């Protein structure tokens, strides 16, 4: 295959998978800091939970990210005897600084991946002679996963 053929194939594949790459980059960014799960007084928006469920479990539904109510969770800890163990990690414990820096770095990576993919889609849609085919590939890349979720 020639360089031109490889470049064209790369463009077509990129146009088709671009919508999914954007989806996974953005929903992954939300999940880095567990914004898709309930913790403390924070209750995530339902759409964030459902999109996270697609990202993690490939279903558009609420999964068991809610956890038990706070009183039940404290009762279970006391019953299990983990609340008084030295070194037992509570949900309120803050992550180490290196973990926080790693999460921030991965958030930056996810945002850059989304931005790079958006630029790639823009270039693929505007810098081609076959605009109709480009739009068909992007549309198919967005609709195929949605159709499979609805099956």
Evaluate whether residue 109 is within a structural domain: no
Asked if the structure places residue 104 within a domain, the reply is no
Asked whether residue 88 is domain-assigned, the answer is no
pLDDT bracket for residue 113 (50, 70, 90):
very high
Q: What is the pLDDT of residues 19-28, one digit of tens each?
A: 999 999 998 8
Q: Is residue 42 part of a domain?
A: yes
Cβ burial 16-55 (10 Å sphere, 16+ → b, else e): bebbebbbbbbbbbbbbeeebbeeeeeebeeebbbbbbbb
Strands (E), the chain: none
Q: Is residue 26 part of a domain?
A: yes
Q: What integer pLDDT is reported at residue 134 of this predicted model?
A: 97
Dihedral of CA atoms 70, 99, 95, 69 in degrees, nearest 10, equals: 0
- Answer yes or no: are the C-beta atoms of 150 and 25 closer than 8 Å: no
Domain span holding position 24: 3-80+114-150
Number of domains making up the chain? 1
Domain-located, residue 71: yes
Distance CA 136, CA 143 (A): 10
85 has pLDDT over 80? no
């Amino acid at each position: 295959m020639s360089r031109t053929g490889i470049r064209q194939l790369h463009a077509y594949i990129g146009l088709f998978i671009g919508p999914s790459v954007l989806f996974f980059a953005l929903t992954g960014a939300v999940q880095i800091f567990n914004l898709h799960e309930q913790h403390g007084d924070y209750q995530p928006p339902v759409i964030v939970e459902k999109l996270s469920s697609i990202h993690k479990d490939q279903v558009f539904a609420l999964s068991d990210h809610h956890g038990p109510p706070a009183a039940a969770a404290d009762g279970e800890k006391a019953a299990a005897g983990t609340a008084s163990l030295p070194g037992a990690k509570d949900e309120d414990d803050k992550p180490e600084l290196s973990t926080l820096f790693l999460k921030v770095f991965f958030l930056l990576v996810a945002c850059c991946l989304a931005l790079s993919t958006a630029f790639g889609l823009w270039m693929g849609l505007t810098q081609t002679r076959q605009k109709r085919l480009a739009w068909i590939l992007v549309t198919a890349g967005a609709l195929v996963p949605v159709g499979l979720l609805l099956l």
